Structure formats: structure tokens, C-alpha cells
């Protein structure tokens, strides 16, 4: 793969926080935001506003909760974390349209976009499983 193909593929597979917010504002019915971070709630204290929480280690069993007719935007911790990429591969292999939110939670917070405390949303039934992050 040459550089041009690489960068085109990267742009196709990712969405920046600004791009996501604009797309969600213009066509809210087309997107679902999903937090795929794993680990105890003590480190997953907040989520992006509007996100559904499905940790990567539960995604295989919970795919039925996601609509195939929408684009699933996945996020994890930061640019160094691979959880959203792993989730995207799994969803794409199963017929979903999936993209990674570039920069994850860290980029979102850097831009001062809204977050919610995890206790403010209905979270995963296994939220205190003690699973270490698989980044």
C-alpha cells in the first residue's frame, strides 16, 4: 500500500470529534456512538455524552443491541489505544458500518465537549468485572 492509499483508508475508517459532532447534528438518525473501553468502573468514570456503553469484551454477545442501518462510531481512551479498532474489525466482519472516533475520550475532553459520569447512564452489567484494559 502506498502512502496515498494509506491516508485515504485512514480517512475512511476514522472520524474526528469535530466531524462526528457536525455529522450527528446534521443527520442524528444515522449514527450511534459506542464506548468500547474495558476495565473497572473506577477508571471508566465518564463517557461521551450520548454514548452507549458496550465494552469490547462484551461486544460479540451484545451486537444485537446495535442497528445495522446506522454508522457505529466507536471510541476508547486515546490515540494509543486499539480497543475501538478491534471493535470496528469485529463489527465490519459482521455486516455493520463502523468507524473509529479519532483520539477517543482524550481528544473529546481536550476539545471540552460534554461528558457524563458513568453513574448517570445505564452501563454494562459486568461493569465491575475487573478486566484490565486490552489496549
Query: Where does residue 75 rank: exposed (0-12), middle (13-18), buried (19+ CB within 10 A)?
Result: buried
pLDDT value at 130 more than 50: no
Strands (E), 13-54: 14-15, 31-35, 46-48, 52-53
Lowest-pLDDT range, 44-58, 87-101, 120-134? Answer: 120-134
pLDDT single digits (tens) 12-46: 999 999 999 999 999 999 999 999 999 877 788 89
In the predicted model, what is the mean pLDDT of the chain? Answer: 90
pLDDT, position 120: 60
For 50-101, give the DSSP string.
T-EE--HHHHHHHGGGS-TTSEEEEE-SSTT--HHHHHHHHHHHTT-EEEEE
The C-alpha cell at 103 is 483520539
Quickly name the fold that domain 3-120 has.
Answer: Oxidized Rhodanese; domain 1 (3.40.250)
Q: Please report, for the chain, the start and end positions of each structural domain, with discontinuous segments joined by +.
A: 3-120
pLDDT single digits (tens) 49-70: 999 999 999 999 999 999 999 9
pLDDT, position 118: 77
pLDDT, position 124: 47
Phi first, then psi: give them for residue 131, nearest 5 degrees.
-65, 130
7 or 120, greater pLDDT: 7
Amino acid at each position: 500500500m502506498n502512502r496515498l492509499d494509506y491516508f485515504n483508508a485512514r480517512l475512511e475508517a476514522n472520524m474526528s470529534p469535530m466531524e462526528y459532532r457536525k455529522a450527528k447534528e446534521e443527520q442524528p438518525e444515522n449514527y450511534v456512538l459506542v464506548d468500547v473501553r474495558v476495565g473497572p468502573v473506577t477508571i471508566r468514570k465518564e463517557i461521551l455524552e450520548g454514548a452507549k456503553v458496550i465494552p469490547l469484551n462484551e461486544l460479540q454477545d451484545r451486537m444485537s443491541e446495535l442497528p445495522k442501518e446506522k454508522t457505529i462510531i466507536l471510541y476508547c481512551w486515546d490515540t494509543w489505544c486499539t480497543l475501538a479498532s478491534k471493535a470496528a474489525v469485529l463489527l465490519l466482519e459482521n455486516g455493520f458500518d463502523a468507524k473509529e472516533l479519532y483520539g477517543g475520550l482524550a481528544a473529546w475532553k481536550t476539545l471540552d465537549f460534554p461528558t457524563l459520569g458513568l453513574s448517570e447512564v445505564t452501563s454494562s452489567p459486568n461493569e465491575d468485572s475487573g478486566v484490565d484494559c486490552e489496549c
